[in-house]
């Protein structure tokens, strides 16, 4: 059932030219080189150290490795991280 609804939402977003991240409840990840990233539409922080950050999302867990990572902003819909970003993985 969920797959049919996702297909319907995708088709509607295509037809009406709406942002897919909003319509499909997907996280939006913006990476600025290797010095920071911005994650919108998250579901909360699972783990946070200066070396590892795990964030829950509708598509799974977003895991970020780095060094000297710092959470600059934490809002209900957005997280901004600065520091040396080395690797990003999405675990579904």
**pLDDT single digits (tens) 42-57:** 999 999 999 999 999 9
Instruction: Please report, for the chain, the start and end positions of each structural domain, with discontinuous segments joined by +.
Output: 25-91
Q: What is the pLDDT of residue 74?
A: 94
Q: What is the pLDDT of residues 62-90, one digit of tens each?
A: 999 999 999 999 998 899 999 999 999 99
- Vertex 76 angle, CA 42 and 78, to 5°: 55
User: Which residues, in sequence order, are CB contacts of 77 under 8 Å at separation 6+?
Assistant: 40, 41, 42
Q: How far from 83 is each of 5, 29, 38, 49, CA to CA, in Å?
A: 38, 16, 12, 12
Cβ-contact 77, 41 below 8 angstroms: yes
Q: What is the CATH number of domain 25-91?
A: 2.60.40.2000
């Amino acid at each position: 059932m969920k797959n049919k609804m996702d297909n319907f939402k995708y088709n509607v977003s295509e037809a009406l030219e709406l942002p897919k991240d909003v319509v499909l409840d997907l996280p939006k990840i913006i990476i600025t080189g290797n010095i920071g990233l911005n994650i919108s539409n998250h579901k909360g922080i699972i783990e946070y150290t200066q070396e590892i950050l795990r964030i829950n999302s509708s598509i799974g867990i977003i895991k970020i490795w780095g060094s000297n990572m710092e959470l600059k902003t934490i809002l209900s819909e957005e997280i901004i991280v600065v520091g040396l970003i080395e690797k990003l993985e999405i675990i579904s």
